[in-house]
Amino acid sequence: SLRRSSGQSVMVGLRQGIHVRFILALRGTRADALPVRTGTLATVSLSSVGKILLARESDATILRIARHANAVDPVSRSRVHPQSLLEQIREGQARGWAESHEFPSPGHCSIAAALPLIPGQPPLGLCLGSSTAFMHRERPSLVTALMRACERFELMTQRARHAAGAIEIFPASPAGC
């Protein structure tokens, strides 16, 4: 629904150390949509999903992860200033969504919001990726669509939890049986 309504690429990612792995990636229907593939790894400190997932961490942890990512990937395009990253993360946390610029490739960017936590699962982020030009033109409507998709996901997970709790497959046996 989000992909269809926005025409942009939709991804779901989880953090794996200093990376984000996109466990679901759907290429947008527009010609200028972000080219994506399921399974892709991205640097956590550069991707919008990484930034929104890092918002759950302490400042000290974020700075440590940024320094580690910089040490592992010496390519100047992949390096971040740790304090600047911390500021971007806290800004994204305050507004409820994070963004990347010219990442993962020049001419593209993304916005991401944290999906509601699912018990027993790692935190996930939902992301919309597009051309930079399209994102600048349509950011307010894309942010609204992204946040509504997260709200719908929350309702679905609440219903699923409620249904799972309401159905007792094997009734508790009486004491002593």
- CA distance linking residue 49 with residue 114, whole number of Å: 8
Q: Which residue has the tokens 């949509």?
A: 33
Q: Is the pLDDT of residue 177 over 60?
A: no
Which carries the bigger pLDDT value, residue 1 or residue 62? 62
Lowest-confidence pick of 10-24, 44-58, 94-108, 124-138: 94-108
Q: Is the pLDDT of residue 40 over 50?
A: yes
pTM of the shown model: 0.86
Residue 120 confidence (pLDDT): 87
Q: Is the pLDDT of residue 72 over 50?
A: yes
- CA distance linking residue 107 with residue 73, whole number of Å: 22
pLDDT bin (cut points 50, 70, 90) of residue 166 is low
Residue 77 confidence (pLDDT): 63
- Which tokens in the block code for residue 69? 């990512």
Nearest to 152 by CA among 118, 121, 116: 116
- CA distance linking residue 25 with residue 128, whole number of Å: 10
Q: Is the pLDDT of residue 85 over 80?
A: yes
Query: CA-based Rg of the chain, rounded to a whole angstrom?
Result: 18
Residue 171 confidence (pLDDT): 43
- Which tokens in the block code for residue 98? 């994070």
pLDDT bin (cut points 50, 70, 90) of residue 153 is very high
